[in-house]
Structure formats: C-alpha cells, structure tokens
Structure 1
Amino acid sequence: MAIQSEPSTNKSFQTRQSKKKFFTSKDLAGYVFSAPLVIGVLVFAIYPMVGALILSFQKSSTTFGGDWVGLANYKSVFTDSIFWKSLYNTLYMGVLSVILGVSLSFILATLIYNVPWLRWRNFFKGIYFLPNVVSLVATSILFQFLFNSGSEGLLNYVLGFIGVEPIGWFTNPNVSRFSIVLMTLWGMLGYNTIIFLAALTSVPRDLYEAAEVDGANWFKKWYYITIPYLKPIILFMVIMSTIGAMKRFTEVWLIGGTGGNPAGSLMTVVLYIYRNAFSASQMGIATAASYILFMFILILTVIMLYFNRKNNFE
C-alpha cells in the first residue's frame, strides 16, 4: 500500500512546487510589464467584440443597446440587395488585388534580389516602399488627378495622344472597381516586396548550386526551388492580403462617398457597415453585418489553410 501511495505523494509535491514557482517574486516583473498589453486587449479588443455581438441582436441607433430582436438584424442584412452587391464588389476587387498584388510583388522581389549591386538593390527597395509612407488620403487625391474622367486627367491626356477616347476611371461603373485595384496596388506592392525580399534571403544557396550542376536555368531554379521553399510565406501574404482586401474602406469612401458611386460599384461591405451605423443610425444592423463579414473572412482563411495542408500531405 505504501508503494502505491508514493506516486500520488510525489505528484502533489510537484503541484505545490509548480504553484510556488508560478507565483515567485522573480516573475512579478513579467506580470507587471505584460499587464498593460493584457488590459489593452481586454478593453480595446475583447470588450468591443463582445459588445458588438450583443448589439447585433438588438434594435438600436446608438452603441448603448436597445430592444432585443433576436436574429432580425441578420435577416435584414441577408435580405438586403445592397449588402450582396457590396459583397460582390468586395470580392471582385479583393480577388484582383490579391492575385495581382502577391504575384507582381513576388516577381519584383525576385528581380531586385538578383540585382548584383547592393547599392542599386537598396535603391529599388526604397522606391517601391515609398508609397507605403504616403497616407491613403493623399494617395486618393493623387489618383483622382491621374484618373480624372475628363481630358484634363493625366492618364486620359496621355491616352489622347494615341487616339484613345477619355475613360471614366472613377465615373464608369464598369471601370471604377478596376481603377481602385490599380490604386491599391501602388501601395500594396512595396510592402509585399519587402517581405518577399526578406524571405528570399532564407533560401539556401546550396540548392541553387546543386541545380546549376544539374543544368537548370534561372527559370527552373525559380520555379522548382524558390517558389516551393517560400510557399509558407506566399500563403501568409495571400491570407493577409485577403483580410486587407475584405476590409477595404478608406479609398472607396474618399472616391465614391457613402453611396459607393458610381452606381454603387464602389460599395464595399465595410462601407455598407459604416453607412448603416453612422448615416442610417442602424447600429444593430451594422454590427450584424460586421459579424457576417468576420465569419466570411474566417471561413476563407480556414479554406486556404485547409487546401495548403492537404497539398503538403499529398
């Protein structure tokens, strides 16, 4: 009997020792320094999320809540044709910006990485990253000048020399969404390129040297070594770019206003949430739409991670 009770005695002793180690004075400094971050997350992240979730089940014009209406707000969002149009616009611009942004930035990073002179390499890094230090407001004003629908717009002025009629970049519903994608690419390429440049330095040079011995050219080395080795980074950039594209707001609000003009082609989901919350004073519907957007982004992220894991196992 004494032999059987010995393991439990040792286990209780280890538990007491672990509790003593957890609350030692040496760890007190760590708890103190991490407290502001924990409090900040609780106050500015967890509390607003929980509050918004509760508010999405209420009929309210303010953030202080109102009458409980259950799933009525979610039903109003799902039966609203404007919401579905905003979701289509968001996906349309998001898919284009992610495909073009990630692929072009990866190609640019590869080209810059292969520049033999370090000074020129740093020069190109600065040039492509420069748009990221410019605010979206200034960027929107700049592109309003470049994409002005009249002949006074710089791009239309240049196209006029080759006989092309002025294009309504921000006034034609069939062109405006693509114009927003071009505008966001201007700033998106710099950030992604810097990330890919940092990732390219982690590829072992031995792999390239072995491929050269086997007679592989630059394209085969890039396709069969660089891309597979950087697959986790590419997936990370795709996920982060997708999340950013699904939250598109500032540029479409500055260009098209709260109506997402022209003809609602620039109405995104976040702009739909903003218009219901602050223009229509329907905070319950706005918070319901925000949680629908959250679940949509979560589902997209899980799907991408699932297919990436499936391909890795195969």
Structure 2
Amino acid sequence: MRHGKYPFVYGFLIPPVVLYLVFVIGPYLQSFYISMTDWRGLSPEVRLIGLDNFARVFQDEMFWKALRNHGQLLLTVPLFTLAIALLFAFLLNVAGRSAGNAIGGLRGSTFYKIIFFFPQVLSIAVLGVLFQLVYRPDEGGLLNGLLGKAGIAPVGFLTDPDLALWSIIAVMVWSHVGFYLVLFSAGMAAIPKELYEAAAIDGAGRARTFFTVTLPLLRNHVQTGWIYLGIGVLDYFVLIKVLSVDEGGPDGATTVLGMQVWKSAFTNYNFGYASALGVVLFFIVMTFAMVTMRFTRNREEIEF
C-alpha cells in the first residue's frame, strides 16, 4: 500500500499540472516572445525587433495616463471598498445585542447581507449598461433626473474628465462591497464571543472593540481582500470599456493598461506592442502583490 501511494497521487496531480502549463504558462511565455516582434496578427510573418516595443511603451503618453489612473484606482477602490465592507460587517454581526444583552448581530442581518451581495450575481457588462442609464448626461438619467428636480443643471458624470474616473470608481466600490461584507462576516463569526465580552467588561466601546479585537483578527482577510482588489483594478477592463466615453475617454481620463492592450491589438492590429503592454502590466501586478504581502505580514495581536 505504501509503495502504491505515490503513483496514485501523481496520477491525479500530473493531468492538472500539464493543463496549467499548456493553457496558462504557455500563453504567458508566448506573450513574452510576441512582445519582441512586430507581429500584426494578420499573417504568419514575424520579425524580431528586440526591446523596441518596450522602449515605445515608456515613451507613450497614453501609457503614463493609464498608469496614473491605475494609481488612483489602487489608492481608492480597495480603501473605500474594504472600509465600507468592514463597517457594515461589524454593524451587522457585532454591533447588535442578542438575548441576555450579549454581543450579537442586528435583527435581519441575513437579509441585509443578501441585498448587499446582489451586485455580485450580475455580470460586469450588465452593471456597465445599468450605470450608463444612471449616469446619462441629460435628465433622462437617474442621477441627473434627481438633480433636475432639485433645480441643478445636468452633470456629465462620464463626459467630464474630472468626474469620469470617480464615477467609475463609485460603481466598482458599490459592486464589490457585498462580496467583502460576506467575507468579513464569515471571519467575524469565527472570532470567539468571549473576546468581545472581555472587551465589554474592560469598558471598551464599539469603536475600540473594532480596532482592538475585530480588525487584528481579520488582518489576513483584509490583506487577501487588498491584494485581490488591487490585482482586479490593475486588470480592470470590461466595466471601463462599457462606461467610458470613446473607450478610455474623455481624453484618456479613464483609460487603463487593459484598454491600451485592447486598442493596440484589436483596433490597431499591433499585437507585438499589445503584448509588450501586457508584459509590463504582468510585472506591475506581480510587484504590487509581493510588496503588499511583504508590508502587511504582521502577527495578530489583541490589546485592550
């Protein structure tokens, strides 16, 4: 039995590893090769040009605009999403009182979780179409219709370069809060109630209990959420393509690297340059993930 164990295990491991190498690692390696060519995707002719595509990337004004937009997304989307989700999860799971005045969730908390989670069941394209109607620049839009009733002139939420990216950020935050609310709720359910009771005996209020008990014990959940959201906004494409004016406009105000890859490959048919942009995006994502894990790796401590 002991000698037959390893062939049995390897028999299950080898097929998925082979599939991963062929369908994940293989395309990555292929993109590295294509990034050093001038291939236009329309013929089998490929000419190696070295690092010329990468030199062009760093001289491209739209690349730097996309990078600045990514920086704004990285600073705002994870911060607002996780903060709101943590607040709502704490209110729904800990801020209430159960029988005997013990720590408990609010009445109807399950219903609220379902409502907050609802955007997760909608596809990103559907969300984009819905918020096109919400952000319409005339009084036919939901927001401008409400503003019109208050005597305020219509606002170009998606056509004003100063508002367009913030409008899309609001949709990103709204659509992700429900998922992290459920994630943090599951983490809070695993925290022993005795810790909250000890904090209450020591006179800790709700805010102090949150920062000294709940948040330290949810550190791993927050770290995972931050990395996941960071990678998500670095690779965000569909929602921005649907909502933005002229695919990343106005005037590049909402463009991201994914949008530049799309335009280079399927509008300009320059697959070599598109692959170079993809390779740069790959290293940016990997660097972000490693730096985030390095600086958020702390042991959990509880101190009243």
TM over 0.5: yes
**Cα offset for 1:105?**
0.8
Q: Does 1:44 align with 2:32?
A: no
2:100 corresponds in structure 1 to: none
- The letter for the 2-side match of 1:43 is V
- In the alignment, is residue 252 of structure 1 matched against residue 240 of structure 2? yes
Partner amino acid for 2:76? Answer: L
Whole-Å separation in 2 of the counterparts to 1:255 and 1:84: 21
Query: Offset of 1:193 from its aligned partner?
Result: 0.9
Q: Name the aligned partner's letter for residue 163 of structure 1.
A: G
Match of 2:206 among 189, 197, 218: 218
Question: Match of 2:156, SS?
Answer: coil
Alpha-carbon spacing, 1:151–1:118, altered in 2? closer, same or farther (3 Å)? closer
Out of 220, 229, 248, the position equivalent to 1:232 is: 220
**2:34 & 2:162 partners in 1: Cα distance?**
36
- Equivalence for 2:58: 78
Per-residue CA deviations over 1:61-101 (Å, capped at 9, x if unaligned) read 12967111111110010000111111112222332111111
Counterpart of 2:108 in 1: which secondary structure? helix
- Aligned letter for 1:191? F
Over 4 Å off, 4+ runs:
115-119, 310-313
Q: What SS class does the counterpart of residue 242 from structure 2 fall into?
A: helix
Amino acid at match of 1:234: V
Distance 1:32 1:178, change over 3 A: same
Cα distance, 1:250 vs structure 2: 0.2
Bigger mean CA offset, 215-224 vs 63-72: 63-72
Alignment map for 1:1-314 (pairs within 5 Å):
24-62=3-41, 66-114=46-94, 115=96, 116=104, 120-256=108-244, 259-309=247-297
Q: Which runs of 5+ in 1 are unaligned?
A: 1-19
Cα deviations by residue, 1:42-74 (Å, 9 ceiling, x for unpaired) = 111110011111111111112967111111110
How many angstroms does 1:163 deviate by? 2.5
Question: Could you tell me the percent identity over the aligned residues?
Answer: 28
Instruction: Tell me the distance in 1 between the aligned counterparts of 2:207 and 2:298.
Output: 26
Consecutive unaligned residues of structure 2, counting only runs of 5 or more, are: 97-103
1:181-230 deviation per Cα after TM superposition (whole angstroms, max 9, x unaligned): 11112211111111111111122222222222211112111111111121
- Assess, with a 3 A threshold, how the Cα gap between structure 1 residues 304 and 149 changes in structure 2: closer, same or farther: same
Q: Is the 8 A contact 1:93 1:178 kept in 2?
A: no
Measured in 1, the distance between the counterparts of 2:152 and 2:214 equals: 41
Contact kept, 8 Å, 1:58 with 1:65, in 2: the verdict is: no
Distance 1:72 1:295 in 2: 18
**1:218–1:74: structure 2 CA closer, same or farther, 3 Å change rule?**
same
Partner SS for 1:173: coil
Q: CA RMSD in A?
A: 2.2
Letter of the 1:97 partner, please give it.
V
One-letter code of the match for 1:145? L
Distance (whole Å) between structure 1 residues aligned to residue 295 and residue 13 of structure 2 = 36
- CA shift, 1:311, in A, is 8.6
For the residues of structure 2 that align with 1:103 and 1:171, how far apart are their CA atoms?
28
Contact 1:147-1:154 at 8 Å conserved across structures: yes
Instruction: Give the TM-score normalised by the residue count of structure 1.
Output: 0.86
Instruction: State how far apart, in whole Å, the 1-side matches of 2:224 and 2:287 are.
Output: 16
Structure 1 residue 258, shift from structure 2 partner: 5.9
Which of the pair is proportionally richer in helix?
A: 1
After superposition, give the CA deviation of every residue in 1:261-299 in whole Å (9 maximum; x if it has no partner): 222212111110111111111111111111111111222
Q: Which has the larger radius of gyration?
A: 1
> How far did 1:112 drift?
1.5
Match of 1:17 in 2: none
Q: Which amino acid aligns with 1:30?
A: V
In the alignment of these two chains, the number of paired residues is 292
1:90–1:248 CA contact under 8 A, matched in 2: no
Range that drifts further, 258-267 or 228-237? 258-267
Q: What secondary structure, in the 3-state scheme, does the structure 2 residue paired with 1:207 have?
A: helix
Structure 1 residues 36 and 187: CA distance shift in structure 2, 3 A: farther
| Residues 222 and 310 (structure 1), Cα distance of their counterparts in 2 relative to 1, 3 Å cut | closer
